Amino acid sequence: MFKKDFPYFSNSDITYLDNGATTQKPKVVIDSQIDYYTKYCANTHRSNFGDANKATREFENARKILKEFINASKNEEIIFTKGVTESINFIASSFAVDFETVIISSLEHHSNVVPWHMQGRTIGKGLEVVKCDDRLNFDMEHFEELLKANPKAFVSITHISNAFGEIHDIKAITKLAHSYGAVVLVDGAQSLAHLKVDMQEFDCDFFAMSGHKTFAPTGVGAIYVKEQYLNELKPYQTGGATIHEVDFYGSTLLDSPYKFEAGTQNIAGVIGFGKAIEYLSHVGYANIETIENDVYKYLRNELEKLDGIIFYNDIDNCVGSLSFNFEGIVHDDIGILIDKMKIALRVGHHCAQPIMKQLGIKGTIRVSIAFYNNYKDVDNLINALKRALNMLRD
Ligand SMILES: Cc1ncc(COP(=O)(O)O)c(C=O)c1O
């Protein structure tokens, strides 16, 4: 029903099921890029002529749209970045670096693992990992033990696993963490495309967002920083547009968010991010959740009928991504064959090697849906999988 809003689908006969990697872009977002580059291309927050002022207005309007969408308290709490990877690296290196212990979950993407390793943290040495059970559910009791043993830790946890679609109960995690004096960052890379997020309800201290996984252009994202941390948070890069006064004896920085947005920003990307969020609001989470729940359940039911399928978690607590394997079949072989049948999905470790290792597998076949996917996409996938399995089992 919504595919008509996305030019990709009228130009391509691919069944696109790789939304966990990146989403397609609606026409309004694509048009906003052409508009900026053809009608008012100018830098922001610098020059004072008409187009420059318009670019600044549109850029700041995107901040306001995002602030309202996630129910942050102030525009200043939204800082634009390149994406979730940059958002986490920013907070890791400028704020969390001084914390004795960082606690992550077993289901983290490499973007929320490698930055901690780069600080010399490994398990038991400044890094702790919350266990999950054999159906990949977050172990709250173990989390509490870790918090007790490491008061005032920095907790960095994904909201939704990109590899398995598992949803973490961020409200409960944050509440518990705060009761032990911990500070909480949430990796929201997979969140906005599927579920309503509310900063007042989550009460997390940092929330990392990805534009390209939310129907916006690539190379743009944001980090929400709770107001109380804006002053103590240090910029991790500085330069043009971050300063109030500079001479050869020193520099004074601007207030948030500008002191954190050094250099020329991804202006078109930010404007596009704002348009994508406006578009999402127009579609509405009521529609998104109804469609996705329906398609996800249908997908799971149809997959279950295939011989030898292995799932790693339960559907009840999942959204977006669904991962599986087939007994005796290498996931890469399925990937190669169904690509020829015009199905786009991802096979591999999905940048989540630690959990793959824990499960004793090299990777999975991952289908990741968005609200524009439908039963027909699932039928195309199932037919392709059946053909691929027949070829591989012959
Ligand atoms: C859970 C999760 N975290 C972080 C990232 C990295 O996001 P970005 O591409 O915006 O840097 C991804 C991308 O796949 C992800 O799924």
Arithmetic mean of pLDDT, 306-327: 95
Residue 305 lies in a domain: yes
Asked if the structure places residue 381 within a domain, the reply is yes
In whole angstroms, give the CA distance from residue 56 to residue 369. 34
Ligand 1: distance of its center to the CA of 114 in Å?
13
**In terms of domains, do 240 and 371 share one?**
no
pLDDT tens digits, residue range 38-50? 999 999 999 999 9
Tell me the C-alpha distance between 375 and 15, whole Å.
11
Active site residue 41: no
Give the pLDDT confidence score for residue 1 in this predicted structure.
Answer: 85
Question: Which is the closest atom of ligand 1 to the Cα of 21?
Answer: 14
Residue partners of 309: CB distance under 8 A and separation at least 6: 303, 324, 325, 326
Q: If pLDDT is split at 50, 70 and 90, which confidence band does 178 have?
A: very high
Does residue 328 share a domain with residue 258? no
For 115-172, what is each residue's pLDDT tens digit?
Answer: 999 999 999 999 999 999 999 999 999 999 999 999 899 999 999 999 999 999 999 9
pLDDT of residue 382: 98
**246 has pLDDT over 90:** yes
Whether 229 contacts 73, CB under 8 Å: no
**241, 256, 282 — which closes off a domain?**
282
Average pLDDT of the residues in 369-387: 98
Query: For 192-224, b where at least 16 C-beta lie within 10 A, e where not — what string?
Result: bbbbbbebeebebbbbbbbbbbbbbbbbbbbbb
Pick the atom of ligand 1 nearest to 161's CA: 1
> Domain check: are 344 and 208 in the same one?
no
Q: Which atom of ligand 1 is nearest to 108's Cα?
A: 1
Indicate whether 4 belongs to any domain: no
Query: Is 13 part of a structural domain of the chain?
Result: no
Contact 225, 185 (CB under 8 A): no
Residue where the block lists tokens 């989550």: 202
In a domain, 1, yes or no: no
The domain spanning residue 278 has which CATH number?
3.40.640.10
By most ligand atoms within 8 Å of CB, the mutation choice from 80, 81, 164, 187 for ligand 1 is 187
> Residue 394 above 90 pLDDT?
no
Do 70 and 160 lie in one domain? The reply is: yes
pLDDT at position 76 is 98
Pocket of ligand 1 (CB under 6 A): 83-85, 109, 111, 158, 162, 187, 189-190, 210, 221, 351
Percent of the chain at pLDDT above 70?
100
Q: Tally the domains of the chain.
A: 2
Residue 240 has pLDDT above 90, yes or no: no
Q: Does 392 or 316 have the greater pLDDT score?
A: 392
Same domain, 225 and 322: no
Of 41, 132, 318, 351, the active-site residue reads 351
Residue 314: pLDDT over 90? no
Both structure tokens of 263:
């250099």
Average pLDDT over residues 236-243: 91
- Point out the ligand 1 atom lying closest to the alpha carbon of residue 209: 10
Q: Of 282, 305, 325, at which residue does a domain stop? A: 282
* CA angle at 141 for the pair 140 and 147, rounded to the nearest 5°: 85
Picking from 230, 254, 282, the residue at the C-terminal end of a domain is 282
Same domain, 63 and 97: yes
Residue 114 domain flag: yes
Q: Give nearest CA residue, ligand 1 atom 12.
A: 189
43 CA to middle of ligand 1, Å?
28
Confidence category of residue 285, pLDDT binned at 50, 70, 90: very high
Whether 290 and 231 map to the same domain: the answer is no
390 CA to middle of ligand 1, Å? Answer: 34
Both 114 and 137 in one domain: the answer is yes
Residue 195 has φ and ψ, to the nearest 5°, of -130, 150
Q: How far is the CA of 154 from the centre of ligand 1 (A)?
A: 20
Alpha carbon dihedral 89, 94, 99, 104, in 10-degree steps, equals: -20
CATH number, domain with residue 303: 3.90.1150.10
User: What pairs with residue 210 in β-bridges?
Assistant: 221
CA 58 / ligand 1 centre spacing (Å):
26
Which residue's CA lies nearest to atom 11 of ligand 1?
A: 85
Q: What is the pLDDT of residue 194?
A: 98
Question: Model confidence over 61-70: pLDDT tens digits?
Answer: 999 999 999 9
Q: How far is CA 316 from CA 197, 323, 326, in A?
A: 19, 14, 21
**Cα dihedral sign for 33, 39, 41, 42?**
negative
What integer pLDDT is reported at residue 233 of this predicted model? Answer: 96
Q: Could you tell me if 224 and 163 lie in one domain? A: yes
For 348, the domain range is 284-393
pLDDT value of residue 298: 97
Question: Hey, how many other C-beta atoms are within 10 angstroms of the C-beta on 64?
Answer: 12
Asked if residue 315 has pLDDT above 90, the reply is: no
What digits encode the pLDDT tens for the residues 323-377? 999 999 999 999 999 999 999 999 999 999 999 999 999 999 999 999 999 999 9
Task: Confirm whether 223 is domain-assigned.
Answer: yes
Co-location of 134 and 277 in the same domain: yes
Residue closest by Cα to atom 16 of ligand 1: 162
Across the chain, what does the average pLDDT equal?
97
Residue 120 lies in a domain: yes
276 & 300 share domain: no
Going from the C-alpha of 198 to that of each of 161, 170, 191, 202, the distances in angstroms are: 18, 11, 11, 6
Tens digit of each residue's pLDDT (9 = 90 or more) over 78-98:
999 999 999 999 999 999 999
Percent of the chain with pLDDT over 90: 98
Whether residues 222 and 112 share a domain: the answer is yes
Q: How many CA atoms lie within 13 A of 194 on its CB side?
A: 28
